Structure 1
């Protein structure tokens, strides 16, 4: 979704925002030349913007190999003959030019300068925009600096992602912010790669851009503190890490296949197709429809604003699965969302809901849950930071991303009542538990959770 642009007589900055992934990417246009920074999987919005302004895409800049989405940098470069720029520390296997401290790129009458800002990842860069008078006007900070936050430093610890200790990266981030970004002129506009809800940080600000002066005044991570204090504060209460993050880092280091070609290659099956036993079936229909009838063994992961994030949190990057929806339009939408995190190749088949859906799920007795919660084994599938104040006494906390692996911990002597914060995740959680414990009644508290004291 393109957002209003910022421009001077010499340059135009256009932000594109994907709310589902809380991802911001940018087009920087100077005259008839254009650079794209941190593009999402679908390159079409950048092509459309270039066409609209009769501009040529000459550069694609990656601030780092992203963990939470797949970038179209390689596809754009192949389509437009643009050059890809990234840090030499990435170890990228696609054709590119190194873009590190001291490197600069001429774009019309302005320049883009690279500065190494490691910390979120060891290979992170930020990109300075200098005007014709060599004055710093903006900085594209990738996942190093957000509005009101900084990027998390714990996503590269797995050996597949480099084996970098979070404490060491947090120390680098302290130096990057203090020595590089905080030294910029206060009027410098800040354009980050993520907004509120991103799992690449603890970001809460609804603003999608800022200035260095504003961040110095309001960003907790930029306040005076020692390096050790910074590391401690930064590592506290980081959100969970979806299963797909390490996979996407590696995919972005290689460069992903073309988006539309990949989407078209997903097998479309007739609605009467019987899914292969043992392969996950992701039913994306609303929870009420799922409870009324579904295919045996299905997981109810509803299509919604964060579908791709939860898909990549419940399903591992090496697992095959089927996708099911009510209409062809809805099915195409969830296929495209799966492709945004590089999961389109995992889809064994996509199908419409068949007429006969033999399995059902019982509706929760909300009144009994109010009056006699002790009659249930209550499973809270919220994240740990959300569940610091339990809604039910003695609830068993198993966050949704861990549920498939830990479902065996749930006692089977009482009916199971599943809740989250608003009803979306509990539909998935209840279906996972129902499949694993078929001998026990499993109830989804769903949206009725809002009726209980302490719910938000």
Structure 2
């Protein structure tokens, strides 16, 4: 038997390769498909089937690319949509993979046509269930893609799918969701590498509600919707352009790089926050390389020409991240990085940084500065708020520039400093000059001797939590 869980960092996406007796299937493949081809070939398997659990919104599916290279059959979900490839999965459809059997279960909720797939073993008993975005470790799928007016209906569908179809499979069945912790397809997926139906029945907070009505009320919420989702929804119906036909992004000299930037390209600098603060190309956007899949889709249009600046040579991981989320218009990267840029006597800019201890001392004096906290509302609730801070989640910052004062120094704060630098680069591109970034963020604050107080949630309970945060 062949079984591989293949993870895509940044997107927190899981796909699966299953095989037996020389035949294999891939469930929810990512766009760059070489990993499936290489792993199956190395084990002596051919990929005969590709199965999709739903029309994905957060990454581009690689089904057509695999079929093109292997001749595999594509079975897709969400038949109510106008797909241009594959054949629709139906309730109870069975696919034999050697001595193994995959059965389709219609599990609506996340999308109306979502499917889960039950893997039956050699004895005919269910071994695993691939739930897509219906049920995760510690969470359930978001149900807001049809709009607020449909929340009650879609949350009810999700409840029925989980309780009527997935949980009855048995506590011992291994649960294989399409995402892990950090995905935008749910609000709080747990960091459990492996889980079972029984574990989720015991630990998943959304499976502890006393009634269907309570589940609907708690799960039926509108969540953030990154703009790049629109491209994902479009290309995941037609099939994304084949990566095998794309030209490798070029190494560019400083002169070539500057010419393309002058024509309107977006410069994404994927170095660390400290490197970006020390010197960066004017007008560039700071997104640390591991954060590219999380934030590029919020701040860069999917059709925009893109230039990359990195600490390394060929920025392979960054390019993979961008391709997986539909950013195909990559013009190239700066050959030699910022060293080559400066060797051509080209101008660069800096952003002031400050350590948390220094910020603590400043805040003890006259309040001639402000703190912009770009952590999410959930983070603030859990970890503690900064007194008198301006709270704007980084993903919402472009819609709230008018709330940022320009007549005082603004120090940007987050969990570590990486997102704060992204926010600072956004502000600088909008003309804000009096900006600084707090290095270390909340992590540094907790390691310092600065005063601490209570989280918002602890205030509501009237309890003291030592690890919460206070500034004043």
TM-score by length of 2: 0.86
CA contact (8 A) 2:292 2:321 kept: yes
Question: Alpha carbons of 1:239 and 1:369: their partners in 2 closer, same or farther (altered >3 Å)?
Answer: farther
Secondary structure at the aligned position of 1:344 is classed as coil
Tell me the CA shift for residue 75 of structure 1: 0.2
Q: Tell me the distance in 2 between the aligned counterparts of 1:391 and 1:214.
A: 33
Q: Tell me the distance in 1 between the aligned counterparts of 2:149 and 2:81.
A: 15
Tell me the CA shift for residue 390 of structure 1: 5.2
Question: Alpha carbons of 1:197 and 1:322: their partners in 2 closer, same or farther (altered >3 Å)?
Answer: same
Partner of 1:379: 372
Partner of 1:209: 194
Partner of 2:275: 289
Q: Tell me the distance in 1 between the aligned counterparts of 2:435 and 2:220.
A: 36
Partner of 2:334: 351
CA contact (8 A) 1:314 1:400 kept: no
Question: Residue 393 in 1 paired to residue 387 in 2?
Answer: yes
CA contact (8 A) 1:242 1:309 kept: no
Residues 15-67 of structure 1: CA deviation (Å, up to 9, x unaligned): 11223221111111011100000111221111111111211110000001111
Secondary structure at the aligned position of 1:26 is classed as strand
2:311 to 313, 320, 326: 326
CA contact (8 A) 2:280 2:348 kept: yes
Q: Tell me the distance in 1 between the aligned counterparts of 2:87 and 2:423.
A: 45
Question: Residue 342 in 1 paired to residue 342 in 2?
Answer: no
Partner of 1:169: 154
| Residues 106-255 of structure 1 mapped to structure 2, 5 A cutoff | 106-157=96-147, 165-235=150-220, 240-255=224-239
2:418 to 411, 419, 424: 424
Secondary structure at the aligned position of 2:252 is classed as coil
Q: CA RMSD in A?
A: 2.3
Partner of 1:402: 396
Question: Residue 298 in 1 paired to residue 288 in 2?
Answer: no
CA contact (8 A) 1:147 1:203 kept: no
1:269 to 246, 252, 260: 252
Secondary structure at the aligned position of 1:182 is classed as helix
Tell me the CA shift for residue 13 of structure 1: 2.3
Residues 292-344 of structure 1: CA deviation (Å, up to 9, x unaligned): 2221111111212x321111122233444322223323x23211211111112
Residues 113-157 of structure 1: CA deviation (Å, up to 9, x unaligned): 101101111121000112344322211111111122211112343
Tell me the CA shift for residue 88 of structure 1: 5.1
Q: Tell me the distance in 2 between the aligned counterparts of 1:441 and 1:170.
A: 45
Partner of 1:49: 39
Question: Alpha carbons of 1:246 and 1:90: their partners in 2 closer, same or farther (altered >3 Å)?
Answer: farther
Q: Tell me the distance in 1 between the aligned counterparts of 2:169 and 2:319.
A: 42
Q: Tell me the distance in 1 between the aligned counterparts of 2:80 and 2:334.
A: 38
Residues 235-258 of structure 1: CA deviation (Å, up to 9, x unaligned): 46x763333223212221211122
Q: Please, which moves more after superposition, 369-378 or 30-39? A: 369-378
TM-score by length of 1: 0.88
Q: Provide structure 2 residue ranges, at least 5 long, that are not aligned to the other structure.
A: 453-467
Residues 269-288 of structure 1: CA deviation (Å, up to 9, x unaligned): 32323112654321112222
CA contact (8 A) 1:422 1:446 kept: yes
Secondary structure at the aligned position of 1:85 is classed as strand
Partner of 2:464: none
Residues 335-364 of structure 1: CA deviation (Å, up to 9, x unaligned): 12111111123x344323322342222233
Q: Tell me the distance in 2 between the aligned counterparts of 1:201 and 1:249.
A: 17
Q: Please, which moves more after superposition, 17-26 or 116-125? A: 17-26
Q: Tell me the distance in 2 between the aligned counterparts of 1:143 and 1:448.
A: 32
Tell me the CA shift for residue 164 of structure 1: 7.5
Question: Alpha carbons of 1:38 and 1:298: their partners in 2 closer, same or farther (altered >3 Å)?
Answer: same
CA contact (8 A) 2:272 2:418 kept: no
Question: Alpha carbons of 1:242 and 1:446: their partners in 2 closer, same or farther (altered >3 Å)?
Answer: farther
